[in-house]
């Protein structure tokens, strides 16, 4: 992480989530029920993003209509991995299709709220996001900036070391950087 003395103060980390509202991927995996919970919130690093793409539905009330789909592979600081599928407008927003939407990219540490989860004990958990669930994604930190504007997504995590949310985000950032070979030393 490169910091300059003059620029870091302007990007103080300010995360607004309750640590107790987060569900770990390990907890989801340990659940005996395939349908773990109606809705969960997770803090994860984006490992891969595919989409958003447009597909034509085959069943249901929207049969024959085109809708958006976005797929992600996500991981946590313990090395657990899951898949996420976002549907409809949620896929468009998270994929950056709108003029004001910021696309989630590989390396982003994201807070994802209001997603359902299913799992088969032999595979990784699967998360589902949609407008009906009121799913939200917030980019907390961008480990791999692509453009100058991305710097606003890189708060100086050293400045908020006393905040438990900042420490949680920092632990996911450190894990991703080590895993991706970005960490020095």
pLDDT digits (tens, 9 = 90+) for 106-163: 999 999 999 999 877 778 899 999 999 999 999 999 999 888 888 889 988 888 778 8
| Rounded CA separation 23/33 (Å) | 15
Q: What is the mean pLDDT of the chain?
A: 87
What's the CATH number for 17-179?
Answer: 2.40.50.140
pLDDT band at 22 (very low <50, low <70, confident <90, very high): very high
Domain ranges of the chain: 17-179
Residues near 126 by Cβ (< 8 Å), separated by ≥ 6?
82, 83, 84, 85, 117, 118, 119
Buried b (16+ CB within 10 A) or exposed e, 31-40: eeeeebeeeb
Maximum separation of any 2 CA atoms in the chain, in Å = 56
Helix, strand, or coil (residue 76): coil
- Residue 7: the pLDDT is 46
DSSP state of 120: -
Cβ distance 117 to 125 under 8 Å? Answer: yes
Cβ distance 34 to 120 under 8 Å? Answer: yes
Residue 8 predicted with pLDDT over 50: no
Q: Where are the alpha helices (DSSP H) in the chain?
A: 25-30, 88-94, 164-179
């Amino acid at each position: 992480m490169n910091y300059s003395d003059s620029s870091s103060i302007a990007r103080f980390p300010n995360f607004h989530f309750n640590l107790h509202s987060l569900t770990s991927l390990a907890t989801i995996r340990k659940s005996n029920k395939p349908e773990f919970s109606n809705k969960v919130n997770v803090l994860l690093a984006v490992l891969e993003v595919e989409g958003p793409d447009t597909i034509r539905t085959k069943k249901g009330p929207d049969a024959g209509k085109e809708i958006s789909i976005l797929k992600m592979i996500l991981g946590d600081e313990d090395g657990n991995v899951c898949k996420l599928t976002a549907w409809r407008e949620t896929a468009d927003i998270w994929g950056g299709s709108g003029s004001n939407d910021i696309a989630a990219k590989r390396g982003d540490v994201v807070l994802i709220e209001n997603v359902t989860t299913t799992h088969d004990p032999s595979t990784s958990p699967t998360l589902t996001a949609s407008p009906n669930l009121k799913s939200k994604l917030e980019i907390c930190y961008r480990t791999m900036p692509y453009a100058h504007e991305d710097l606003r997504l890189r708060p100086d995590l050293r400045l908020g070391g006393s905040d438990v949310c900042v420490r949680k985000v920092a632990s996911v950032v450190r894990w991703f950087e080590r895993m991706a070979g970005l960490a020095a030393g």
